[in-house]
Amino acid sequence: MDEDAGSMERIFNCGAGAVVTKSIGLKPKEGYSNPTVIELEHGILNAMGLPNPGIESFGEEILKIKKLNIPIIGSIFGSNSEEFAELAKKMQNYGADALELNMSCPHAKGYGLEIGADSKLVEKIASKVKESVSIPVFVKLSSNIPDLVDIAKSAEKGGADGIVAINTVKAMKIDLELKMPVLANKIGGYSGKAIKPIGVRCVYEISKNVDIPVIGVGGVTTGEDALEYIMAGASAVQVGSAIYYRGIDVFGKICDEMKIWMKNHGYKNISELVGVAHT
Amino acid sequence: MNYPKPTKIIIAEKENADVKTFLFEYPQEIIPGQFFMIWIPGVDEIPMSVSYIKKRGVRGITFERVGDATKALFELKEGDKIGIRGPYGNGFKISGKRILFVGGGTGIAMIAPAVEEAINKKISATVILGVKSKKELFFENRLKKCGAEVHISTDDGSLGYKGLATELAKEIIAKEKFDLVLTCGPEMMMKKLYEICKNIPFQVSLERYMKCGIGICGQCCVDKGLRVCVEGPIFDGETLKSIEDFGVFKRDPSGKKVKF
């Protein structure tokens, strides 16, 4: 979802606090051929290939959403700091409330993870974007790297206002009958409940080592999942695959479940729980 | 599970020069109007309406060779395997005493099982099959045999009524009363028909470029986030009122708007 204003409006009305757009690049991109998404036993495997209509066309979608006063985080991807900066400026001009720099897509050549594995480049892009805009800038990182904490520190050094972790986990499915990978791109990213422990670990490690807020992502399906990320140090969480598992109104359900848990355990404000697992 | 199940084609039959039917065993329950995601290994995976809902779990798809995927599919033979997942979407709601079905081009493929279900439910079925020319027609005999009143329209007049299916529909609607109109075909045809059928309950099958088929990627959304793969592909006349996209634009694989 979140490739057009209509679906973003629907997601917001289903209880999301803010909406992150599909990752947008400079030019229209069709993405990979199908199969791009399949369900596996314990999660969803996808290789979309960063499909997006390009920053020029995307303006009208954001303008529509801003008229409705829906908080919007513009996700962008580029192959170098200049591209990121150009996209960032346009997103800010359209009215995005914050930016998410996609440095973690695990299956796009020249983009995403290929950039987010290089700490110098991460710092350079973060600082270049920060110079170009005044809205908050988050950097979305992948778990598919050994030195995640160092990369997060580089983003912080570059001036990032927050870290988003994690993106999908690099994965593959081979069909036994047909003896070939099912995804057209062969390699994709795994999401859903199966990756939650990986995400929780990453958020825990990052939040311990940086002073900027962390947004947790990866398998958040219930209020309890969200609370686990928050205890690990997340100040907010993102939800994606759970739309499939629990329906599009999953956002409201998660919020309700969080409230019930907090009430039963005597908490009034979610901030009391951020990072409690660290003590 | 939404995983493309390798499935053997048990019967491959030519309907005309460019249209083929594949039958296979796929025992899930199916409502007419629902679709499969059909994986042609190594080529593509595309949404395709169910065209046969037979006994003992035999299902079918009927398609025209138009793009790379359907051209590759057309070359497959009995015994070859395709990956199938689904069925997806909501399907038609078939009720009332008298239904008019309008199938345009390959839209005829998904109209056929809906007609058969109506006949099974003892609902009287009038069917318009609209094609450009006689050689593109298929399923005429199948629908006549099941007991439907079948009308043909061809743009070039090579068979039946000479003109558009919508013009023929207008004439038939002026003479007879229907409780429901069901249609699948080119979007501009369906839009015109929708205008003609102002006061008759209406159900349309929309087609949009699809990727996931399970409501998460957002590629096929219309209006305010209505997912053609989940909330559709069948939309009723009431819902259509607010779908501004209908007959105006669709989105290409990048999400860019493309005018009809």
Which tens digits make up the pLDDT trace of B89-132?
999 999 999 999 999 999 999 999 999 999 999 999 999 999 99
Between helices A119-132 and A148-157, what is the axis angle to 10°? 30
Q: Pick from A54, A50, A190: which is nearest to A108 by CA?
A: A50
Which tens digits make up the pLDDT trace of A2-22?
899 999 999 999 999 999 999
Residue B223: which of A6, A11, A243 has the nearest Cβ?
A6
Residue B214: which of A33, A39, A175 has the nearest Cβ?
A39
Whether residue A255 lies in the annotated active site: no
Q: Give the best residue of A7, A24, A46, A58 to mutate against chain B (max B CB count within 10 A).
A: A7
Catalytic entry in A14, A105, A202, A255:
A105
Helix/strand/coil (H/E/C) assignment for every residue in chain B: CCCCEEEECCEEEECCCCEEEEEEECCCCCCCCCEEEEEECCCEEEEEECCEECHHHEEEEEEECCCHHHHHHHCCCCCCEEEEEEEECCCCCCCCCEEEEEEEHHHHHHHHHHHHHHHHCCCEEEEEEEECCHHHCCCHHHHHHHCCEEEEEECCCCCCEECCHHHHHHHHHHHCCCCEEEEECCHHHHHHHHHHCCCCCEEEECCCCCCCCCCCCCCCEECCCEECCCCCCEEEHHHHHHCCCCCCEEECCCCCEEEC
Which tens digits make up the pLDDT trace of A108-122?
888 888 888 899 999
β-strand pairing of A72-76 with B226-227? unpaired
Q: Give the best residue of A26, A27, A34, A61 to mutate against chain B (max B CB count within 10 A).
A: A34
Tens of pLDDT, residue by residue, chain B (260 residues):
899 999 999 999 999 999 999 999 999 999 999 999 999 999 999 999 999 999 999 999 999 999 999 999 999 999 999 999 999 999 999 999 999 999 999 999 999 999 999 999 999 999 999 999 999 999 999 999 999 999 999 999 999 999 999 999 999 999 999 999 999 999 999 999 999 998 899 999 999 999 999 999 999 999 999 999 999 999 999 999 999 999 999 999 999 999 99
Between helices A196-209 and A223-232, what is the axis angle to 10°? 30
Which tens digits make up the pLDDT trace of A212-233?
999 999 999 999 999 999 999 9
Q: Pick from B67, B66, B51, B71: which is nearest to B138 by CA?
A: B51
State the complex-level ipTM.
0.93
| This prediction's pTM | 0.95
Side chain identity at A2, as an amino acid letter? Answer: D
Residue A37: which of B217, B224, B255 has the nearest Cβ?
B217
